[in-house]
Structure 1
Amino acid sequence: MNVSIDVAWKSLNKHDEELCGDKVEILKTEDSDIVILADGMGSGVKANILATMASKILGTMFLKGEPIEEAVETLASTLPVCKVRNVSYSTFSILQIFHSGDAYLVEFDNPGCIFVRNKQLVKIPENIREISGRKIREYRFSVQPDDCFVLMSDGTIYAGVGELLNFGWTWESMAEYTLKCVRETKSAARIAALLSQACDDLYQQRPGDDTTVAVTRVIERQIVNIFTGPPEKKADDERLMRDFMRMDGKKVVCGGTTSHIAAACLKRDMTNNDDGTKEVPPTSNIRGLDLVTEGVLTMSYAYKLLKRFDTGDIDGDFFEALDGGNGGARLARLLLEECTELNLFVGKANNQANYDENPMFDISIRKNLVIQLKATMESLGKQVTIQYY
């Protein structure tokens, strides 16, 4: 078995705090994917520093293959001590899923991981160990495609306490709602958004604690390839298309001139659709390609949706836009919900067609858009490569 993960997370800052005291890190090794959720003690700047230090220390040591004992002892000796409580720690959860299907989960003082398999809640057999005076919950097991895991900070189970609920949202309530979300959608992004929104609603949009959910779905690799912009040299059209079509995964072409290059090289007809809007030009069809769109306007629209999700600016209007039928929404959905690896094939030519429509257009516009798209996709836990022609 060769599995990968679809991962998404959402954080709510404690009310009136500019920084979140929770930190999520996604790391990749040659044979595994690692998700780390650290919750710094307290809130605000101090908690943010503690969580960031903890996640970096844990991530660095895990990448080096150090045992959990070493990681915990390093945390205990490195993090500053609270003068009030006389403790020095950040709670954490670490989920490591190997491409072989083996998995390792370790938790310290965070709420337990929620595990859903075959649309049922599953209990993972745990092993409790004491390291440096701290009780650590440790699990080793095997995963299957479509398994879903939710790591969370304790803000999730405090949601609603003293307001809508007497004792907050319990772990059991969180687990049952997770099960409902998993039955409605397979997307880690939507599950994370739904769980986070539920917590925010229970807090009545005034979170009493930093609140983070990190959702991991076990999936097969989902590769998306995007070709945008004509090559710098016309002679490279055929070479670029050979490289592009040779890749595994879905194929997307973005750009008017680019789509004509694709059709010519593939020796296939191109037909146009009637799905354009005021913001996004219509898409086209070329046999063998999964999506054919206009270039900069469509990619900009998709990028704005991805950026909104990455920054937590999600509500009913966001998902209504994401579910739209235009090319920009379709591209954003593909990249957000059906992509673990993105390969960008970017032509460096100054496109005369763009100049004719907008004399101010410059190749740097496309280049900057591609760089921003790469940064946002990586922030969302995706693996991105760029090849220029």
Structure 2
Amino acid sequence: MHQLHAEVGVAQLSKIGEELCGDNVDLIRTPTDTIMVLSDGLGSGVKANILATLTTKIASSMLKRGIPLEDVVNTIAETLPVCRQRKIAYSTMHIITFNNQGLVTVVEFDCPTSFLVRSGQVVPFPLQEKVVGGKIIKEGQLLLQENDIIIAVSDGVIHAGIGGLLKLGWGWQGVAQQLAIESTGNPEAETICRQLIRCCEGYYLGRPGDDTTVVAVKIRQPRHLTLLAGAPASRSNDEKVVKRFLRQQGKKIIAGGTTANIVSRITGRPLTVDLAYYDSQIPPIGHIEGIDLVTEGVLTLNAAVERLGNTEMLANQSRQDGATLLARKLLEADKIEIFAGGAVNPAHQNPNFPIQINVKAQVLSKLQAVLEFRGKQVGIEWF
């Protein structure tokens, strides 16, 4: 059976007058599982954020260690207190766990019912009530199909517009109707979240009366990418590394002028350079048939790391420099293999220094960290 991938999108609004959102989302990926926890802390602002963060961190860390779901729910139910005035829990909990065979488990405690989008139809995710730790929770399992989408929302979405444009708020059915529209045309999870949040902001007239969060989990085939960064330490390995690089599935990117020349020589495909400088700080890109992107090495890689932390810069489609193009392609991928060459460019590094303090190694380490923070599976192999 082909492995599937859970693409996760998140969008939020903070309650008007609050700097911190009282909802919190925690996402953890392992080689076989994706774990998403959404919590809505009671009230708003700092206190709500702390309560929600406590809930998500407890749940995700326990699930990552393989602790049974019932034990996780029981621990949180016993840990979180109940508000004396309102007689309700200090935070809600919404758990979605997904394995790469397509099996998803949804657990809900005191939160809106999840939406399941399949073949253009939007229905409630099938759940059953059970009592755990004296709390009533809802739990359900389902074997998902490719392009199925699960959407989890906080109360702020369901109540959008209440007492204003919509007397009783948007409501579950209203959100479902909008989801049916937004899910047409095979959109990405992030796009669905952004569109729903824009609707919420509109219904709130730009003044959100509650913290508002949308999380979308879309099931699809994983996207692979291999980055060849630098020439091998020994020239005798050039052909072996290039042939292995070309056999990799998915998109292929080369970072480094010398590396690009090696690939061109071994494959017999010409390397051409695009001399149009879109950014005076970024060297030009190149082109080799069969390679999705060819860039300069360390300078472009380092700039790509900076781009990955600047969503506005990435969203600006007029930016077509090598670093921005590299960052975009990395974000589109789910599983990234980095083939790192051990050859040292004297312009960047003293060749007598150990690899731990090699400039390229430091840049690739930062790149791996920022990509993993964005939910990517990243592996680095040195040659």
TM-score by length of 1: 0.82
8 Å contact from structure 2 (residues 29, 375) kept in 1: no
Partner of 2:36: 35
Letter matched to residue 128 of structure 2:
N
Are 2:161 and 2:170, in contact at CA under 8 Å, matched by a contact in 1? yes
Instruction: Give the residue type in structure 1 aligned to 2:249.
Output: D
Aligned equivalents of 2:203, 2:98: Cα separation in 1: 32
**1:334 counterpart = 2:299:** no
Match of 2:290 in 1: 288
Maintained 8 Å contact 1:275/1:326: no
Closer/same/farther in 2, CA of residues 90 and 237 from structure 1, 3 Å limit: farther
Using the TM superposition, name which of 300-309 and 42-51 deviates more: 300-309
Residue number in structure 1 paired with 2:354 = none
297, 306, 309: which is aligned to 1:307? Answer: 309
Q: 2:368 pairs with 359, 367, 374, which one?
A: 374
Secondary structure of the equivalent of 2:309? helix
1:1-389 to structure 2, matched below 5 A, reads: 1=1, 2-273=3-274, 276-278=277-279, 281-296=283-298, 298-299=300-301, 302-309=304-311, 319=315, 321-322=316-317, 327-337=322-332, 339-352=333-346, 366-389=360-383
The size of the alignment, in residue pairs, is 374
Residues 85-124 of structure 1 show CA distances to partners (whole Å, capped at 9, x for unaligned) of 4544421211222222222111112222222112222343
Structure 2 distance, partners of 1:70, 1:94, is: 13
* CA–CA distance in structure 2, aligned partners of residues 77 and 232 of structure 1: 56
> Percent same amino acid at aligned positions?
37
Q: Deviations over 1:310-335 (max 9, x none)?
A: xxxx5xx864x248655444433333
Please tell me whether the aligned partners of residues 268 and 286 of structure 1 are also in contact (alpha carbons under 8 angstroms): yes
Contact 1:273 1:283 in 2 (8 A): yes
Which amino acid is 2:104 matched to?
Answer: A
Q: Quote the offset at 1:251 in angstroms.
A: 1.0
* Cα shift readout 1:180-220 (whole Å, capped 9, x = no counterpart): 22224532222223333333344344433222221111111
Counterparts of 1:83 and 1:187 in 2: how far apart (Å)?
Answer: 42
3-state SS of the aligned residue for 2:72? helix
Distance in 2 between the 1:270 and 1:322 partners? 25
How far the C-alpha of 1:53 sits from its partner, in A, is 1.9
What is the distance in 2 between the residues matched to 1:300 and 1:196? 33
Aligned residues of 2:32 and 2:99 also touching (Cα < 8 A): yes
Q: Is residue 75–residue 89 contact of structure 1 (8 Å, CA) maintained in 2?
A: no
Query: 1:229–1:351: 8 Å Cα contact kept in structure 2?
Result: no
Q: Specify the code of the residue in structure 2 equivalent to 1:278.
A: D
Residues of 1 paired with 2:225 and 2:239: CA distance?
A: 20
- The answer to whether the Cα contact below 8 Å between 1:227 and 1:344 also exists between their aligned partners in 2 is yes
AA aligned to 1:155 is: G
Q: Which amino acid aligns with 1:55?
A: T
* Whole-angstrom CA distance in 2 between matches of 1:173 and 1:274: 52
Code of the residue aligned with 2:155 in structure 1: it is D
1:360 matched residue in structure 2? none
CA contact (8 A) 1:228 1:255 kept: yes
Superposition deviation, residue 170 in structure 1? 2.3
Structure 1 position 336, deviation (Å): 2.6
> How far is the alpha carbon of 1:173 from its aligned partner?
2.6
User: What's the offset of the Cα at 1:144?
Assistant: 0.8
C-alpha contact 1:155 1:212 (8 A) present in aligned 2: yes
Give the SS at the match of 2:260: helix
Q: Which amino acid aligns with 1:378?
A: E
Native 8 Å contact 2:337 2:379 kept in 1: yes
Q: 1:38-68 CA deviation, whole Å, 9 max, x = no partner?
A: 2222222222222222122222333344444
Looking at structure 2, the residues matched to 104 and 376 of structure 1 have their Cα atoms a distance apart, in angstroms, of 28
Instruction: Please give the per-residue CA displacement for 1:233-267, whole angstroms capped at 9, x wherever unaligned.
Output: 55554454345334332211123233223223433
- Paired with 2:106 and 2:324, the residues of 1 have a C-alpha distance of 35
